Chain A
Amino acid sequence: MKKADYQRMDFYDIGSLGQSLPLSRREFIKLMGGGIVILFSVGDPSWLEAQRGRGQPLPDDFNAFLRIGEDGRVTCFTGKIEMGQGIITSLAMMLADELEVPLESVDMVMGDTDLCPWDAGTWGSMSTRFFGPPLRAAAAEARAVLVELAAEHLKTPPSELTVEAGVIYDKSQRQKKVSYAQLIKGKKIARRLDRQKALEKPSDFTIVGTPALRRDAVEKVTGKAKFAGDLREADMLYARILRPPAHGARLISVGTSGVKTIDGARVAQDEEMIAVLHEDPELADQALKQIKAQWEKPEAKVDETSIFDHLLKVAPAGETVSEGGNLAEGEKASKTVIEKTYLDGYVAHAPIETHTALAKIEGGKLTIWASTQSPFGVKDEVASALGFPAQDVRVITPFVGGGFGGKGSSGQAVEAAKLAKLAGRPVQVAWTRAEEFFYDTFRPAAVVKIKAGVTDSGAISLWDYGVYYAGERGSQHFYDIPHHRTVTYGSGWRGQPGSHPFATGPWRAPANNTNTFARESHIDILAAAAGMDPLEFRLKNLKDARMIRVLKAAGEKFGWTPAKAPSGRGYGIACGIDSGTYVAHMSEVEVNRKTGHVQVKRAVCAQDMGLSINPEGATIQMEGCITMGLGYALAEDIHFKGGEILDLNFDTYEIPRFSWLPRIETVLVEDRNATPQGGGEPAIICMGAVVANAIFDAAGVRVFQLPMTPKRVKQALG
């Protein structure tokens, strides 16, 4: 980087900079000791918009930092958390590459609200897209500071210097060199990054773009990795909480005298929450069983069958999210017009680690270790629930055992904090599996109605799309259609009061799974109506070059040969866009006509995510999406009667197993010069549609409702 590319060097004394910062930040910087600290704001406009959308005030000082210590080790402090998606590796890779240090010398401190800058939460496949660029810029800034120091030290102009693995060399005399650690020794430098730095060109990357193994793998295979439930504090108590039998149930009477029969058990009550505490988790469980409670359940008005009519009945007025042309003209131009309704049931997040938290109050400071996707959200929630000053609440996020959108809401942390306050001792709340199902914020049940037409030459001429309750993400089509309209009813994942009988929320690629199932099923129906091969039909109706490219890449990998469906081969296709990433899937299925059972034998996915930071991590996410997506495609459906959740464990709520495993093949359609896009969610959005289309190709029947259980497939077979 040329000297002119970066701003004038102003070396602040740590102390003087600290005066203008909030107390916790000042303390933090003092704690950091010597070294170089780069403070920076994540200022990408779309990132900022996403944060504002959540009603959060943005900190006005800075919201991220990295530090290079006197030992030369680099630490990145981020409010993001690691729940399996792999950013503990990919963010470190970006940092190491830009700073030109070995990956091994980077440490990640994640999700600690005292040490890390504010962050809204880890979701929406945003970490790499929006946190990545400023992180790289900060690393470039740090490198610039170091090069400047080296120029002075080596008495060589910066332009004559080069950096390799944390050592700065004089280009013409390599024996003239100095390491980062040597340069930093005894110094305290804080820099605030005010504008984008000139970044390394993708062609200069040595770490980014090269497959890397997970950095947390050894801890995780040896049992050393700590999750929230694995932490122990002296004198801690385990809590079990009295739960209603159904959402909306009212407590009529309660008798807790039986708890006395369990030695060491005590009752703790905070308004409506009644809990038992014990030093032994099993005895806490037994003590809970001694509580006699009578509940009044509200009348159950809906179940998993009647919910769709209910939702259509209570749906608010629609909002048009996109339109073009004239629908009446589109209908006139169509040779065939087809109208269909698609249904999608409630789906659980079901991470193997249930919501867990440990809370401790000591010296006026409340510390919570929580399995959460939103440590700063937990901090605010707990502070307001307990009337605790926010600056005295610290949330620490250990490894999170899966989230998928379900750990954005973290009621267990508030429960643990309230109970710790009541008990005057540290308290752990770990939801049981039944509690996890009961309090999950399910992917909402939803309805999609599509009316679409195709001309005699196979051009899509009409597209009238209405989605109820799934949400907007993925609702807009990307085909070249002259007359079209997309309307969302009851958009947002939570629905208005009276719509869902329990909580709903974002689920891995929220809304997009439902929308892609409906859109791509309907595109296949139009292809069949036009008498065309479904891949050819899509290519004919697309102008989007990126989509065409991923479709062709998938077709090549799969070995797709044109045939009109149903061809009897059991081949399916679907494509979509999520988090800026394009995906195209092809699958092969076998349908058992006697049982209705569907086995997916092959699953091919081509993905264009721009520059892929860690191709290994990206591939793993694609495989995970495909495997997890088979669950909502084929089996996952919450059973309920009004507010009563009938699924209490994995015996009735089926998630994918080893025997479901198809042969998975993935292709990264790389564009190293394009901005990195999301990777944790896109490859899951097509799973409903690709399987539905393959079932049609195999058996000539179509299933219009997710999940496509053996019962529904049999019904369709007639």
Chain B
Amino acid sequence: MKKTIRFKLNGKPETLEIDRDRMLLWVLRTDFELTGTKYGCGEGFCGACTVLVNNEAVRSCQLPAAEIDGKEVITIEGLAADGKLHALQEAFVEHDALQCGFCTPGMILTAYSLLLKNPKPTRKDIIEGLEENLCRCGAHTRIVQAIQTAAQNMKGALRR
């Protein structure tokens, strides 16, 4: 079942030969050395492997790579444009919304997809939107604040 897939990765067109079932997480981490996408649980429970596929937050450990054919993938490495941090990244820095930083890429990309659908989320919306992302250090309260700040700073315009 050899197959060539074509997709956009962080804005750049890419092709990949796939000859077996492979999960997107490992394709990103090994073939493309985009290691900002993390393995946390391998079964879609923790959200550390979250990436954007056509702007939708997905668990890359559960997504067969073949399914990104013709789609656009954005990882944490692709969020800052022209060397400038994205408003969400800036807000995470400004609020110290991280400790060990291992869950952070997944948190930011999940928030990105949330803000795309709901540019003015309430605190409750943010909590619901991030419910399936786990953080062990307990940075939750600052993550919520950071997303609120980012939403305000972006004023609905989700630059990337």
Residues of chain A having any CB pair with chain B under 8 Å: 83-86, 213-214, 216-227, 229-230, 232, 280-282, 350-354, 399-402, 404, 430, 432-433, 616, 620, 623-628, 649-651, 655-659, 661, 664
Contacts and interface: CB of A to CB of B under 8 A. Distances in A.
A661 B101 contact: no
B38 interface: yes
A221 B89 contact: yes
Interface stretch (B52-60, B91-99, B152-160): B91-99
Contacts of A624: 99, 137-139
A221 B136 contact: no
B93 A213 contact: yes
A617 B140 CA distance: 15
Nearest to A625: B138
Contacts of B76: 221-223
Most buried by B among A85, A222, A282, A404: A222
Most buried by B among A230, A282, A352: A352
B35 A223 contact: yes
Interface in B47-85: 48, 75-77, 79-80, 85
Contacts, number: 168
Contacts of A281: 26, 29-30
A353 to B, nearest CB: 5
B125 to A, nearest CB: 11
Contacts of B100: 83-84, 351-353, 399-402
Contacts of A432: 42
13 contacts: A213-B93, A222-B76, A222-B80, A223-B37, A354-B40, A623-B141, A624-B137, A627-B139, A628-B138, A650-B134, A655-B136, A656-B140, A657-B131
A352 B50 CA distance: 13
B99 A620 contact: yes
A657 B138 CA distance: 9
B158 to A, nearest CB: 17
Interface residues of B, number: 57
Given A223-B34, A352-B38, 15 more contacts: A213-B96, A214-B93, A214-B96, A220-B104, A221-B76, A221-B108, A222-B89, A223-B105, A225-B101, A227-B35, A281-B29, A401-B100, A402-B100, A651-B43, A655-B134
Given A83-B100, A217-B92, A658-B144, A650 B41 contact: yes
B144 A661 contact: yes
A616 B94 CA distance: 11
Given A222-B77, A620-B142, A430 B39 contact: yes
B139 A649 contact: no
Contacts of B136: 350-352, 402, 404, 628, 655
Q: Which 10 A-B pairs have the closest CB atoms?
A: A223-B36, A84-B100, A627-B138, A220-B101, A401-B102, A84-B99, A624-B138, A230-B35, A223-B76, A650-B45
B33 interface: yes
B89 A433 contact: no
A353 B142 contact: no
A399 B35 CA distance: 13
Interface of B: 22-23, 26, 29-30, 33-43, 45-46, 48, 75-77, 79-80, 85, 89, 92-94, 96, 98-105, 108, 126-128, 130-144
A221 B138 contact: no
A475 to B, nearest CB: 25
B131 to A, nearest CB: 5
Contacts of A650: 41, 45-46, 134
A628 B141 CA distance: 12
A433 B75 contact: no
B98 A214 contact: yes
A624 B23 CA distance: 32
Contact of A620 (B30, B85, B139): B139
Nearest to A661: B140
A687 B34 CA distance: 38
Contacts of A224: 36, 77
Given A353-B40, A353-B102, A659-B128, A282 B93 contact: no
A229 B137 contact: no
B60 to A, nearest CB: 13
B138 A401 contact: no
A85 B99 contact: yes
Contacts of B23: 282
A396 B96 CA distance: 26
Contacts of A351: 100, 102, 136
B35 A229 contact: yes
A79 B99 CA distance: 19
Nearest to B127: A658
A347 B126 CA distance: 29
Nearest to A683: B138
Contacts of B105: 221, 223
A651 B45 contact: yes
Given A218-B85, A222-B77, A657 B96 contact: no
Nearest to B47: A352
A583 B105 CA distance: 33
Contacts of A226: 35
Most buried by A among B22, B40, B46: B40
A444 B79 CA distance: 42
A613 to B, nearest CB: 15
Nearest to B92: A221
Given A226-B35, A661-B127, A661-B144, A216 B101 contact: yes
B98 A659 contact: no
A83 B35 CA distance: 18
Nearest to B78: A223
Contacts of A664: 141
Contact of B131 (A220, A401, A658): A658
